């Protein structure tokens, strides 16, 4: 049996989340599955006479009938990428050229489909990303799209200053255009993109992976022109054997980190990933490195099929839970960690306490620029602490009876065990769960407040009761 990598923390972490195409599709319905990609590729190839002339008569007939040669796009690409013993040299070169073109067509399709996803992203996606960010989770994705990265940029959560995407990726791969000045590291969740990304680029003649880099939103077209010269988008195409890509240094580093995360996880959450047994690298990693008592959660409408595959890898049936609805799982995930958030809030406020705390009104922040929401009263509801808040106009004096930081800490310490803490805004419905404490903010205005006691909340109300 393989031994887990020795780098990284030695204690077992709580969760590892594995994301497949079903996750991206749940966030943005037009996102394609592997079968969808196959059909889209076939349609584009048939639209160009350049490609039509490259197919055998049989392959062309199948594509025109809406079918994929060899059965699916993964097997077809695999047959094109590897020289076959019955092919002539010219056939091999033609197929390899076709393989490289199809790989870039896959990138184009994903880029087109993922545009404008944020305006329709469901509320649970906001809440899940904020939970990952606050808990500094480990997330491994097999998807090419940039939905997770762009979601974090759009959320604009407190604590996402600087190169938040670089922090999620742990600067692997490097930026195509480097910053002139360094930025303070941002603490967030770890995102391992094991099959590459549509915004990663490389020189396809590079056998080490040293040319691999990523494009960042702040990079100008002028700078990128030089940085990406001769490079093409980097993805690990859907192949039966991906060894040529897995031998690259950067990719191996990502897989080593994923292997360590598997070996220390107490629970692995599989979201929209079917765990196909033909994905040899993934199944070998899971089978060899997972702990025998690791719990599994399958978030998938067709969870029974995934359960059967996991059991073939050696997972005990009693350790597997199936949740058909992603929204229901996010609700459960949030509910499960509400008490932990409360404990973290107490610890955070203790850490940030200063001589100004007794006079620090409680501020609620949903985004980095949210400085105008103030807590007017605190109440108990069973095991729950409810903070009632409202928007504060710049020139309003803060009433003397509004709660301050010590009032919140005292209320939290009365709960044993601590329950969830949520915010309700005057005049609106819904509970916005508190995620933790933020650094005290010195802001002056009417009433000469020397410091605020800010706390971070979800930017979307929760369905959890």
Over 60: is that where the pLDDT of 182 sits? no
pLDDT for the residue 401: 94
Instruction: Choose from 47-51, 190-194, 369-373 the range with maximum mean pLDDT.
Output: 190-194
pLDDT given for residue 443 in this prediction: 64
Q: Extract the tokens encoding 324.
A: 């058909």
User: Residue 164, exposed/middle/buried by CB under 10 A (0-12, 13-18, 19+)?
Assistant: buried
Using pLDDT thresholds of 50, 70 and 90, give the confidence band for residue 8.
very low
The single residue listed with the structure tokens 């499960």 is 336
Give residue 318's pLDDT band: very low, low, confident or very high (50, 70, 90). Answer: very high
Q: Please name which of 440, 374, 439, 371 lies closest in space to residue 402, comparing C-alpha atoms.
A: 374
pLDDT at 11: 38
Q: Is the pLDDT of residue 245 over 90?
A: no
Using one digit for the tens of pLDDT, what is the confidence trace for 420-462?
Answer: 899 999 877 789 999 999 988 766 544 456 688 999 999 999 8
Burial class (CB in 10 A: 0-12, 13-18, 19+), 203: middle
Q: How far apart are CA 443 and CA 441, in angstroms?
A: 6
Indicate the helix (H) or strand (E) that contains 79: helix 73-81
Report the range out of 126-140, 339-353, 378-392 with the highest average pLDDT: 126-140
Query: pLDDT tens across 409-418, in order?
Result: 998 888 777 7
Least confident of 141-150, 375-384, 406-415, 444-453: 444-453
CA distance 70 to 82: 14
- Report how far residue 127's alpha carbon sits from residue 212's, in angstroms, rounded to the nearest whole number: 32
pLDDT of residue 413: 87
CA distances from 244 to 2, 37, 302, 329 (A): 21, 22, 32, 37
CA dihedral (6, 8, 9, 11) in degrees, to 10, reads: -50
- At residue 7, the pLDDT reads 37
Q: Residue 450 corresponds to which tokens in the numbers above?
A: 């020397």
- pLDDT confidence band for 219 (50 / 70 / 90): confident
150-154, 302-306, 361-365, 396-400: range with lowest mean pLDDT: 396-400
Residue 247 has pLDDT above 70, yes or no: yes
Mean pLDDT of 304-322: 96
360 contacts: CB under 8 Å, gap ≥ 6: 404, 405, 440, 449, 450, 451, 452, 453
Residue 12, token pair as written in the block = 């077992």
Q: How far apart (Å, rounded) are the C-alpha atoms in residues 157 and 435?
A: 11
The boundaries of every CATH 3.40.50 domain in the chain are 15-31+117-324
- Which segment, 63-77, 179-193, 252-266, 407-421, is predicted with the most confidence on average? 252-266
Question: Percent of the chain, pLDDT > 90?
Answer: 54
- Residue 205 pLDDT > 80, yes or no? yes
Q: Does the pLDDT of residue 96 top 60, yes or no?
A: yes
Q: What is the pLDDT of residues 57-76, one digit of tens each?
A: 888 899 888 888 888 888 88
pLDDT at 444: 54
Residue 99 has pLDDT above 60, yes or no: yes
CA–CA distance, 379 with 399 (Å, rounded to integer):
18
Q: Average pLDDT over the chain, rounded to whole?
A: 88
Considering the domain 15-31+117-324 in this protein, what is its CATH number? Answer: 3.40.50
Nearest to 269 by CA among 317, 233, 323: 323
Question: Residue 332: is its pLDDT beyond 50?
Answer: yes
What is the rounded CA–CA span in Å between residue 124 and residue 207? 41
Average pLDDT over residues 29-34: 91
- For the cut 50, the answer to whether the pLDDT of residue 3 exceeds it is no
Instruction: State residue 465's pLDDT score.
Output: 58
Residue 119: is its pLDDT beyond 70? yes
Q: Which residue has the tokens 């604590």?
A: 159
Residue 273 binned pLDDT confidence (cut-offs 50, 70, 90): very high
pLDDT at 121 over 80: yes
Residue 38 sits at φ, ψ, to 5 deg, of: -60, -45
Q: What is the largest CA-CA distance in the chain?
A: 86
Closest among 51, 80, 79 to 63, alpha carbons compared: 51
* 25: Cα separation from own chain's centroid: 13
Chain-centre distance for alpha carbon 447:
42
What pLDDT score was predicted for residue 384? 87
Which band of pLDDT confidence, cut at 50, 70 and 90, is reported for residue 335? confident
Average pLDDT over residues 301-311: 95
């Amino acid at each position: 049996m393989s031994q887990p990598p020795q780098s990284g923390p030695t204690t077992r972490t709580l969760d590892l989340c594995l994301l497949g195409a079903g996750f991206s599709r749940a966030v943005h319905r037009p996102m394609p599955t592997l079968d969808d990609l196959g059909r889209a590729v076939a349609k584009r190839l048939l639209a160009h006479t350049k490609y039509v002339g490259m197919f055998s008569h049989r392959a062309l007939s199948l594509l025109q009938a809406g079918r994929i040669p060899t059965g699916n796009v993964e097997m077809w690409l695999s047959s094109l990428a590897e020289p076959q013993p019955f092919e002539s040299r010219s056939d091999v070169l033609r197929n390899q050229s076709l393989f490289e073109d199809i790989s870039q067509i896959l990138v184009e399709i994903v880029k087109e489909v993922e545009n404008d996803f944020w305006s329709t992203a469901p509320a649970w996606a906001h809440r899940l990303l904020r939970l990952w960010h606050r808990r500094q989770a480990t997330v491994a994705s097999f998807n090419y799209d940039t939905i997770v990265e762009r979601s974090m940029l759009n959320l604009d959560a407190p604590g996402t200053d600087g190169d938040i995407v670089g922090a999620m990726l742990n600067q692997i791969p490097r930026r195509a255009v480097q910053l002139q000045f360094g930025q303070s590291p941002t603490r967030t969740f770890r995102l391992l993109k094991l099959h590459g990304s549509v915004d990663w680029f490389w020189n396809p003649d590079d056998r080490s992976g040293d040319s691999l880099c990523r494009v960042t939103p702040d990079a100008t077209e002028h700078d990128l022109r030089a940085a990406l010269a001769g490079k093409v988008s980097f993805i690990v195409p859907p192949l039966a054997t991906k060894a040529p890509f897995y031998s690259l240094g950067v990719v191996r580093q990502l897989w080593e980190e994923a292997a360590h995360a598997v070996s220390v996880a107490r629970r692995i959450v599989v979201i929209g990933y079917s765990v196909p047994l033909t994905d040899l690298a993934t199944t070998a990693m899971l089978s060899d490195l997972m702990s025998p008592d690791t719990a599994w959660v399958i978030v998938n409408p067709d969870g029974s099929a995934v359960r059967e595959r996991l059991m073939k890898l050696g997972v005990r049936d009693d350790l597997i839970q199936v949740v058909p609805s992603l929204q229901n799982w996010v609700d459960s995930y949030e509910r499960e960690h509400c008490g932990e958030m409360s404990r973290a809030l107490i610890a955070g406020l203790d850490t940030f306490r200063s001589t100004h705390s007794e006079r620090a009104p409680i501020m609620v922040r949903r985004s980095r620029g949210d400085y105008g929401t103030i807590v007017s009263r605190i109440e108990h509801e069973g095991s729950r602490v409810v903070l009632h808040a409202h928007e504060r106009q710049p020139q309003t004096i803060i009433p003397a009876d509004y709660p301050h930081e010590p009032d919140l800490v005292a209320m939290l310490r009365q709960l044993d065990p601590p329950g969830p803490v949520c915010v309700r805004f005057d005049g609106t419905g819904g509970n916005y769960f508190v995620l933790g404490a933020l650094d005290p903010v010195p802001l002056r205005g009417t009433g000469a407040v020397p410091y605020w006691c800010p706390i971070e909340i979800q930017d979307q109300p929760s369905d959890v009761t």
